[in-house]
Structure 1
Amino acid sequence: MTPTATAAAQECIFCAIARHEAEASVVHEDESVVAFMDRYPVTPGHLLVVPRRHAVGLEDLDKITGGQVWAVAHDLARTLRRSTFHPEGINLFLCDGEAAFQTVPHLHLHVIPRYTGDGWTVENLPKTLDRDRQRLDEDAQQIRAVSAHRTGGHPPGA
Structure 2
Amino acid sequence: MDRDTYTARARTGPCFVCAYVNGNPDYRHEAVYEDEAHVAFLDRWPTVPGKVLVAPKAHIEHVVGDLDEAAFSSLMRVVRTVALAVEAVLAPERTYLLSLGSQQGNAHVHWHIAALPPGVPYEQQQFHALMTENGVLAPTPGQSADLAGRLRAAMPADHRPDRSRS
What is the TM-score with the length of structure 1 in the denominator?
Answer: 0.61
**Backbone CA RMSD of aligned residues:** 2.2
Shift in Å at residue 62 of structure 1?
3.2
The one-letter code sitting in structure 2 at the alignment partner of 1:45 is G
Shift in Å at residue 43 of structure 1?
0.4
1:9-158 to structure 2, matched below 5 A, reads 11-21=14-24, 22-58=27-63, 59-83=65-89, 85-95=90-100, 97=102, 103-115=105-117, 116-117=119-120, 119-122=124-127
Structure 2 residues without counterparts, runs of 5 or longer: 1-12, 129-166
Distance 1:55 1:80 in 2: 24
Compare the two structures and name the one with the higher helix fraction.
2
Shift in Å at residue 24 of structure 1?
1.2
Distance 2:62 2:47 in 1: 22
Shift in Å at residue 64 of structure 1?
2.7
> Measured at CA, do residues 73 and 55 of structure 1 come closer, stay the same or move farther in structure 2, by a change above 3 Å?
same
State the identity %: 28
Pick 1 or 2: higher relative contact order, CA cutoff 8 A, min separation 6.
Answer: 2
Q: Number of matched residues?
A: 110
Structure with max Cα Rg: 1
Structure 1 residues without counterparts, runs of 5 or longer: 1-9, 124-158
Shift in Å at residue 114 of structure 1?
0.9
Shift in Å at residue 34 of structure 1?
0.3
Shift in Å at residue 69 of structure 1?
1.7
The one-letter code sitting in structure 1 at the alignment partner of 2:110 is H
Distance 1:63 1:87 in 2: 30
CA deviations on 1:107-149 (whole Å, 9 max, x unpaired) are: 00111101231634327xxxxxxxxxxxxxxxxxxxxxxxxxx
